[in-house]
């Protein structure tokens, strides 16, 4: 008999054993227990089953953060469904692609966007709504469905879209085994227990907020202060009553600049975790000075979950993402030959283990292209191991910008800009930004007889691109720098505009 325990099984076990234990601490001072959350999961499961959800069916969600959204995630797993959360910033046009590709049985949207989505989903997709005030059609069922579809480690649990550096977005299919194994590794590595009180201020449509922060809490029987979004005032207020914070580097840059954060305020905290984007060594040091705590930086990716982490008890090194997590193999290889490098040289980072996803949804060729013959997955990140086995990320082979922890793929923006009549060609780059780490800048060449104007260009892409992807500045140049092969030299452009936002006079 299998001993596999899925994230859902683990949560339901806590709900059975300690139904009154608190899971959610909400900003208005109310709480929701494990038992009450399980009931909500079973009501939503009844609704989804009535909508026709069968094992393997996708359930898509684009809603604001609420406890019921977590119940929806768990209800989908209960039915053997595949959970597909979408960034709330995506425009209707962006969502169209995901719906067309993943063909969900159910789409759950906000009440405000119901009419829009009813108009754009195929007849085979049922549209449900979910608000943040306990409202929405999803919550209307009074029936209770407790029938749990047994999860196997290899069965798909979720699809998370990660935009491609070329072509269309790819849906990374994560299995129950991926989610559970990563949780097990992190629980042990970070000493996460039922006594923990997490400050949860991340969005729940990415692995950081959902499969790290939420899953760790659900599977340990811990509780979380569940905030709608990052809010420095609320976090400062909660720190004395909490033990753990998980965030992207922007959280720590902001908190390090906040005089209310002191070692005294943070005396009860035991762990500050940072990830999803590079944490500058200087910010690591500044936060320690401010709070008396050394941030624990870890490294992960949608396709792989968490890969490496600085140790809980050993040395946490600024500028390093730490050591491979238990059960996960990480190697650095020569980017030309693919040969493993052992002498601390810089190369491509590759990962193998139970955390690595099963493939891209309906894209067998793209999946095959990202895996080596011996099963290692190519992350597209570039790094090196030092003599003590600590990994540092020094760059990326993939053309991607990470703005405040959200990934932006330049090709998507370039295609839209190139279609504008005043633009002959464009190159989109990421430049350093004091708050967001990196931000998006477009460099364009004018079409003959035209003069591109920044607000016009931004306006032209605005209704097609989520706000966080829109360029924060546009620069017009005579020609894009190219190498002898004719390839645009983005590194040269990044150098040229490196101080666009760090120079305080021009800071936006």
Of these partners, ligand MLC, ligand AMP, none, which one is at the site of residue 162 (CB under 5 to 8 Å by kind)?
A: ligand AMP
Single residue of 32, 139, 213, 248 touching ligand MLC by CB under 6 A = 248
In 79-195, alpha helices (H): 92-102, 114-120, 176-189
Single residue of 357, 377, 406, 501 touching ligand MLC by CB under 6 A = 406
Q: CA 427, CA 449: separation in Å to the nearest integer?
A: 20
383 in contact with ligand MLC (CB under 6 A): no
Q: CA 315, CA 142: separation in Å to the nearest integer?
A: 52
Nearer of residues 27 and 55 to ligand MLC, judged by Cβ: 27
For residues 409 and 163, the answer to whether their CB atoms sit within 8 Å is: yes
Q: Which residue is nearest to ligand AMP (CB)?
A: 302
Q: Which helix (H) or strand (E) holds 12?
A: helix 7-17
Of these partners, ligand MLC, ligand AMP, none, which one is at the site of residue 381 (CB under 5 to 8 Å by kind)?
A: ligand AMP
Phi (first) and psi of residue 15, to 5 degrees = -65, -35
Of these partners, ligand AMP, ligand MLC, none, which one is at the site of residue 208 (CB under 5 to 8 Å by kind)?
A: ligand MLC
CA 195 distance to own-chain centroid? 26
CB of 277 to ligand AMP, least distance (A): 5
Q: ∠ CA(202), CA(226), CA(293), 5° rounding?
A: 65
381 in contact with ligand AMP (CB under 6 A): yes
Nearer of residues 192 and 230 to ligand MLC, judged by Cβ: 230
Q: Which long-range contacts (CB under 8 A, 24 or more apart) does 114-123 make?
A: 116/92, 117/92, 120/92, 120/95, 120/96
Tell me the C-alpha to C-alpha distance, in Å, between residue 467 and each of 55, 90, 91, 441.
Answer: 35, 8, 9, 13
Nearer of residues 87 and 489 to ligand MLC, judged by Cβ: 87
190 in contact with ligand MLC (CB under 6 A): no
With CA atoms as reference, report the closest residue to 197 among 48, 24, 425. 24
Q: CA 168, CA 162: separation in Å to the nearest integer?
A: 9
199 in contact with ligand MLC (CB under 6 A): no
The span of 115-123, 275-283, 355-363, 473-481 binding ligand AMP (CB under 6 A) equals 275-283
- What's the burial of 213, exposed, middle or buried (CB within 10 Å: 0-12/13-18/19+)? buried
Q: CA 280, CA 405: separation in Å to the nearest integer?
A: 13
297 in contact with ligand AMP (CB under 6 A): yes
Q: ∠ CA(403), CA(409), CA(414), 5° rounding?
A: 115
Judged by DSSP in three states, 272 sits in strand
CB of 274 to ligand AMP, least distance (A): 7
Single residue of 404, 430, 452, 471 touching ligand MLC by CB under 6 A = 404
**Which residues on neighbouring strands pair with residue 333, listed in sequence order?**
340, 348
CB of 310 to ligand MLC, least distance (A): 14
Tell me which residues in 205-234 interact with ligand MLC (CB under 6 A): 206-209, 229-230
CA 124 distance to own-chain centroid? 28
Going by C-beta distance under 8 Å and a sequence separation of 6 or more, which residues neighbour residue 137? 128, 129, 130
Per-residue b or e along 441-479, where b marks 16 or more CB atoms closer than 10 Å to that residue's CB: bbbbbeeeeeebeeeebbebbeebbbebbbbbbbbbeee
Of these partners, ligand MLC, ligand AMP, none, which one is at the site of residue 379 (CB under 5 to 8 Å by kind)?
A: ligand AMP
Going by C-beta distance under 8 Å and a sequence separation of 6 or more, which residues neighbour residue 231? 201
Of these partners, ligand AMP, ligand MLC, none, which one is at the site of residue 468 (CB under 5 to 8 Å by kind)?
A: ligand MLC
Token pair 């500028």: residue: 319
278 in contact with ligand MLC (CB under 6 A): no
The span of 235-243, 296-304, 334-342, 451-459 binding ligand AMP (CB under 6 A) equals 296-304
CB of 89 to ligand AMP, least distance (A): 14
CB of 410 to ligand AMP, least distance (A): 14
Number of residues that bind ligand MLC (CB under 6 A): 22
300 in contact with ligand AMP (CB under 6 A): yes
Q: CA 188, CA 487: separation in Å to the nearest integer?
A: 46
Single residue of 203, 353, 359, 410 touching ligand MLC by CB under 6 A = 203
Tell me which residues in 109-168 interact with ligand AMP (CB under 6 A): 162
Single residue of 276, 309, 310, 379 touching ligand MLC by CB under 6 A = 276
Q: CA 177, CA 197: separation in Å to the nearest integer?
A: 26
The span of 138-146, 204-212, 282-290, 312-320 binding ligand MLC (CB under 6 A) equals 204-212
Nearer of residues 132 and 169 to ligand AMP, judged by Cβ: 169
CB of 178 to ligand MLC, least distance (A): 13
x/- letters, 23..52, toward ligand AMP (CB under 6 A)? ------------------------------
Question: What residue ranges bind ligand MLC (CB under 6 A)?
Answer: 202-203, 206-209, 229-230, 248, 250, 275-276, 300-302, 403-406, 436, 467-468
Question: What residue ranges bind ligand AMP (CB under 6 A)?
Answer: 162, 275-278, 297, 299-302, 321, 379, 381, 393, 396, 402, 407
């Amino acid at each position: 008999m299998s001993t596999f325990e899925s994230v859902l099984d683990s949560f339901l076990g806590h709900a059975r054993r300690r139904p009154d234990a608190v899971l959610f601490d909400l900003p208005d001072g109310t709480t929701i227990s494990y038992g009450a959350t399980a009931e909500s999961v079973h009501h939503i499961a009844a609704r989804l089953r009535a909508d026709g959800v069968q094992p393997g069916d996708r359930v898509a969600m684009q809603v604001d953060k609420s406890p019921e959204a977590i119940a929806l995630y768990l209800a989908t797993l209960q039915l053997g469904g595949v959970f597909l959360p979408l960034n709330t910033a995506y425009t209707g046009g962006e969502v169209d692609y995901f719906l067309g590709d993943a063909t969900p049985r159910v789409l759950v949207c906000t009440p405000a966007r119901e009419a829009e989505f009813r108009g754009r989903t195929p007849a085979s997709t049922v549209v449900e709504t979910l608000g943040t005030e306990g409202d929405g059609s999803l919550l209307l069922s009074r029936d209770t469905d407790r029938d749990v579809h047994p999860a196997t480690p290899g069965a798909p649990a979720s699809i998370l879209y990660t935009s491609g550096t070329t072509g269309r977005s790819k849906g990374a299919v994560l299995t129950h085994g991926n989610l559970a194994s990563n949780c097990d590794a992190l629980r042990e590595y970070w000493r996460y227990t039922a006594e923990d009180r997490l400050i949860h201020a991340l969005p729940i449509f990415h692995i950081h907020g959902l499969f790290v922060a939420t899953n760790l809490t659900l599977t340990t029987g811990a509780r979380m202060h569940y905030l709608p979004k990052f809010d420095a005032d609320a976090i400062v207020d909660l720190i004395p009553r909490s033990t753990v914070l998980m965030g992207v580097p922007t959280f720590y840059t902001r908190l390090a600049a906040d005089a209310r954060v002191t070692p005294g305020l943070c005396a009860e905290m035991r762990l500050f975790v940072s990830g999803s984007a590079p944490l500058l060594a200087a910010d690591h040091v500044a936060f320690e000075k401010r709070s008396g705590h050394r941030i624990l930086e870890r490294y992960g990716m949608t396709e792989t979950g968490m890969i490496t982490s600085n140790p809980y008890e050993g040395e946490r090194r600024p500028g390093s993402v730490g050591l491979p997590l238990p059960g996960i193999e990480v190697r650095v290889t020569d980017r030309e030959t693919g040969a493993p490098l052992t002498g601390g040289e810089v190369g491509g980072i590759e990962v193998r283990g139970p955390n690595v996803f099963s493939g891209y949804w309906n894209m067998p060729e793209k999946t095959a292209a990202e895996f080596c013959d011996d099963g290692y997955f190519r992350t597209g990140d570039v790094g090196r191991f030092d003599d003590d086995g600590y990994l540092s990320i020094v760059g990326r082979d993939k053309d991607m910008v990470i703005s405040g922890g959200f990934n932006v793929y330049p090709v998507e923006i370039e295609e839209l800009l190139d279609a504008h009549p005043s633009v002959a060609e464009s190159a989109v780059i990421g430049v350093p930004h004091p708050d967001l780490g990196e931000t998006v800048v477009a460099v364009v060449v004018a079409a003959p007889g035209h003069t591109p104007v920044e607000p016009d260009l931004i306006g032209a892409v605005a209704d097609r691109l989520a706000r966080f992807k829109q360029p924060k500045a546009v620069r017009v140049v005579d020609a894009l720098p190219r190498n002898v092969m004719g390839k645009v030299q983005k590194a040269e452009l990044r150098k040229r505009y490196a101080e666009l936002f760090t120079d305080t006079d021009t800071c936006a």
